[in-house]
Structure 1
Amino acid sequence: MHKNIQRYPTLYEGVFERANSLNFLRLILASCVIFSHTPYLVMGAKVDEHPLVHNFYVFGDYAVNAFFCISGFLIAHSAYRSGAGSYLVKRVLRIFPGYWVSILFVVALGGPISVITGHAATGWDWADAFHYIRSNYDLMALQYPLFGGPIDVPLEFPSWNGSVWSLEYEFFCYLLLLPLFYLPFIRKNLKIFIPLAYLISLSYYLCNQYLGYDFMSQAFGLHPRDLNASARMYPLFFAGSLLYLLSRKIRVYPVLSVLCVAAGVYITWLVPHANVLQWTQLILAYGIIGLGCSINVSWARTNDISYGVYVYAWPVQQILVMLGSVSLGLAANIFLDLILTFGIAWLSWMFIEKPAMNLARHPIVTGSKRREPSPPTTHSTSDTPASQADEPAAAQIPHPLGHPIQFS
């Protein structure tokens, strides 16, 4: 008798051809950002007096790292299947509508509450409100205070949304894929140029270390903080893209995925002591994507509220603090922030983000002559449906490594 031998799926099969739990994991990651930020918003500098609470930063740092790895994988797939114009429109519609409404949320609700409760340095100022919107709408020159506040809160510096700094790098990563996937010579040689892009992104860190921040700041016109963020974020994104390139070759082993996730958390904790993150992005990427393929959680499969949780958690917590929630303690603040933010994020998904993504599938955007059938809902990646409407039914497109991909 022949023994039944379990066949493990490839990364491609696990993400795009089977039900997976990447949306659920992204929601967990967004929640980890709340665990990471709330202690500083509620306790301020006192966080450093509590070693256990101080180490909560690991949750947020790992979450952001994992977000970029997942994005690199999924967005490379979207770029490979879309025309350049369609790809760019879809990326804009995924990032900006929900983000713009979060800006208005701060101005329309957070600002007045800060004035009423005495946590604004000035009174209501229309000019400052419009300046806040104008400074933040394109992610290029973020302004964190509004009306000089919040002030007299535990956090030392006034900030209404300290989480959104990463969105600038996320969107720039989307732009970096344009030459890779839409210049004909490069597209024909992705198996050379995607690994090359990953290696170039790694060189950012080496240049910072060996050429010095002064030289790099003058050469690129960037603040050292931006240089550090670039050296961290871009390799994570391109590690995900590199895994996509190899996704027909690499198999998902659940135990290995769990071990890689655990290693990723430990590596993130090590960063302040020994920055080994720069050489381990592929471990992080394989771990989180493989874990998403290994578990089967139906919740959040069709409603991806993780982005809303990410952009609303900080301002919601600041509003809670201004209304006196500090006296309730850290655990109660985390609970309240989770509950309220999940609700707002669901509204954002249903009425802002999802309609925007539906617009991204419109024939005018995709270039199709007719509207394609809705993609299967078994895929749990909110970036996947937008890309699946790009191709005619039953079309065959070669994978970057030469394997045919069947779309039906």
Structure 2
Amino acid sequence: MSDTALRSTLPSPRTVRPPLPAPPGPRGRPPRLYVLDGLRLIAALMVVGFHFAGYDRYGDHGAWGQSTATLFPGVHGIASYGWLGVELFFLISGFVICMSCWGRTPRDFFISRVVRLYPAFWVCVTATALVLWFCGDRTITLSRVLTNLTMVHEPLGVAHVDPSYWSLWAEMRFYLLFAVVAYKGLTYRRVVTFCGLWLLGAILAPTSGIPLLAVVFQPQFAPFFVGGIVLYLMHRFRPAPLLWLLLGASWLLAQQQLVRLVKDENWAGLHPSWPVALTVVTAFYAVLLAVALGKADFLNWRRLTTAGALTYPLYLLHESIGWAVIERLHTRIPAHLLMAGLVAALLAAAWAVHRFVERPLARRLKHWLNGNLATPRPTPVTGSRTTPAPGSVAARQDVMPPPR
């Protein structure tokens, strides 16, 4: 074949188009990131420290009988920023929820969230209500407790049994929003699109004049959830320019929301500094980024699983029960000793809830949901006209297992 004929069989340079850039390929990582369990416990202890040593619940004298700044001068300044532990929770939640949903069906996602959240919550709400009622708090009514057990008491206008429960409604809204993309199945492009649209919604919601949009997109906390999701994408896939842009947008919106969050904390008699709060939040992003990129694998210790198991019950139990103990014992036991003993007792109670209630109840609840969320099959009535004929298509379909 001549050179001219050979060249005629080749495509013209103008017709050859470069391939579209594919999403980065998956990268190998340990099946479980135990370091996240340790970070979750740190976040919970930050919140505990804030409530017991960072601010005064009842003004200048507080439940301790005097200011926490006087009682705990060495840790008060640090503890006064412990409220940022919730923002760390939200970052980790975005990371973990995206990780745990990958490859699962919406049904699996629903069951995993119910099993993870409700057993410990039911027990802790009941225990907290009983402690408060026996301590003389008659605002704890049966209706209030029962409504709290649904975990959607806040939109129903019912007061929290424990003030810390406010963050659970924010988490719940995140799950419901993320379920939209999980319904179609998680892919790199879908999750990236979801993150971009959520950030856009969080930007537009405050000025839309539509209160429901602010409820759905929750501008105060959306940057943290989205930041966690993007960091997981960096963990599962190699970092790409688009992911860096989304992470940067998340951080920029987070620092802007900190201005409002810092003002919100003034009700507690504190005057937090925005630069300090931003430094703490930036450190959260940096630590999670190190985890995502594998730079913290040396901290991936299996024994940190216990720390993760304690986190949720500790958060649910600590505030109202802790204040009830402080109010009754602060005149009998030195403050530092009472603080140490209280935190140790709460950790022990959290372990007991996890070991003897959460684990066994979660297994039973999961088994029950797996067996009862399947599509029910009609029961044929013998002799009825609707009874399918033996060997018919309908009869064969009737004995097939329900779809999962």
Q: Normalised by the shorter chain, which TM-score bucket?
A: 0.5 to 0.7
* Equivalent residue in structure 2 for 1:220, among 202, 206, 212: 212
CA deviation after TM superposition for structure 1 residue 41, in Å:
6.6
* Larger RCO, structures 1/2 (Cα 8 Å, 6+ apart): 1
Q: How many residues align?
A: 310
Instruction: Please tell me whether Structure 1 or Structure 2 has the larger radius of gyration of its CA atoms.
Output: 2
CA deviation after TM superposition for structure 1 residue 79, in Å:
1.6
- Render the CA deviation track for 1:280-316: whole Å, top value 9, x for unaligned: 6864642565676341444342571111111111122
Q: Measured at CA, do residues 326 and 95 of structure 1 come closer, stay the same or move farther in structure 2, by a change above 3 Å?
A: farther
In structure 1, the partner of 2:79 is 56
* Equivalent residue in structure 2 for 1:242, among 218, 224, 230: 230
CA distance in 1: counterparts of 2:161 and 2:369, whole angstroms: 36
* Equivalent residue in structure 2 for 1:130, among 126, 142, 148: 142
In structure 1, the partner of 2:370 is 365
In structure 2, the partner of 1:182 is 183
In structure 2, the partner of 1:301 is 305
In structure 2, the partner of 1:106 is 128
In structure 2, the partner of 1:349 is 354
* Equivalent residue in structure 2 for 1:191, among 182, 188, 202: 188
Q: Does 1:338 align with 2:343?
A: yes
Q: Aligned with 2:237: secondary structure?
A: coil
- Render the CA deviation track for 1:35-55: whole Å, top value 9, x for unaligned: 111136756433697797255
In structure 2, the partner of 1:200 is 197
Kept after mapping to 1: 8 A contact 2:54/2:82 = no
2:204 maps to a residue whose letter is C
CA deviation after TM superposition for structure 1 residue 137, in Å:
1.7
Kept after mapping to 2: 8 A contact 1:20/1:293 = no
Q: Measured at CA, do residues 110 and 292 of structure 1 come closer, stay the same or move farther in structure 2, by a change above 3 Å?
A: farther
Q: Measured at CA, do residues 288 and 38 of structure 1 come closer, stay the same or move farther in structure 2, by a change above 3 Å?
A: farther
CA deviation after TM superposition for structure 1 residue 238, in Å:
2.4
* Equivalent residue in structure 1 for 2:289, among 274, 286, 289: 286
CA distance in 2: counterparts of 1:59 and 1:339, whole angstroms: 18
Kept after mapping to 1: 8 A contact 2:115/2:365 = yes
CA distance in 2: counterparts of 1:291 and 1:361, whole angstroms: 35
With the length of structure 2 as denominator, give the TM-score of the two structures.
0.63
CA deviation after TM superposition for structure 1 residue 344, in Å:
0.8
Q: 1:48-197 to 2 correspondence within 5 Å?
A: 53=76, 55-61=78-84, 63-113=85-135, 115=136, 120=137, 122=138, 128-142=140-154, 161-183=162-184, 187=186, 190-197=187-194
Listed as ranges, the gaps of 5+ residues in structure 1 are 1-9, 147-157, 252-262, 368-408
Kept after mapping to 2: 8 A contact 1:20/1:297 = yes
Kept after mapping to 2: 8 A contact 1:69/1:284 = no
CA distance in 2: counterparts of 1:12 and 1:363, whole angstroms: 36
CA deviation after TM superposition for structure 1 residue 83, in Å:
1.9
- Render the CA deviation track for 1:13-59: whole Å, top value 9, x for unaligned: 44526x73322222222111111111367564336977972552322
Q: Measured at CA, do residues 249 and 78 of structure 1 come closer, stay the same or move farther in structure 2, by a change above 3 Å?
A: closer
Q: Measured at CA, do residues 203 and 267 of structure 1 come closer, stay the same or move farther in structure 2, by a change above 3 Å?
A: closer
Q: Measured at CA, do residues 338 and 131 of structure 1 come closer, stay the same or move farther in structure 2, by a change above 3 Å?
A: same
1:23 maps to a residue whose letter is D
CA distance in 2: counterparts of 1:335 and 1:319, whole angstroms: 16
Listed as ranges, the gaps of 5+ residues in structure 2 are 1-24, 61-66, 240-250, 263-273, 373-404
Kept after mapping to 1: 8 A contact 2:94/2:226 = yes
Kept after mapping to 2: 8 A contact 1:42/1:330 = no
Q: Does 1:230 align with 2:211?
A: no
CA deviation after TM superposition for structure 1 residue 78, in Å:
2.1
Q: Measured at CA, do residues 182 and 95 of structure 1 come closer, stay the same or move farther in structure 2, by a change above 3 Å?
A: same
Q: Aligned with 1:82: secondary structure?
A: coil
Kept after mapping to 1: 8 A contact 2:205/2:213 = no
Kept after mapping to 1: 8 A contact 2:105/2:182 = no
* Equivalent residue in structure 1 for 2:53, among 39, 44, 47: 39
Q: Measured at CA, do residues 326 and 76 of structure 1 come closer, stay the same or move farther in structure 2, by a change above 3 Å?
A: farther
Q: Measured at CA, do residues 84 and 282 of structure 1 come closer, stay the same or move farther in structure 2, by a change above 3 Å?
A: same
Kept after mapping to 2: 8 A contact 1:42/1:326 = no
Q: Measured at CA, do residues 288 and 57 of structure 1 come closer, stay the same or move farther in structure 2, by a change above 3 Å?
A: farther
In structure 1, the partner of 2:41 is 27
- Alpha-carbon RMSD across the aligned residues, in angstroms, is 4.3
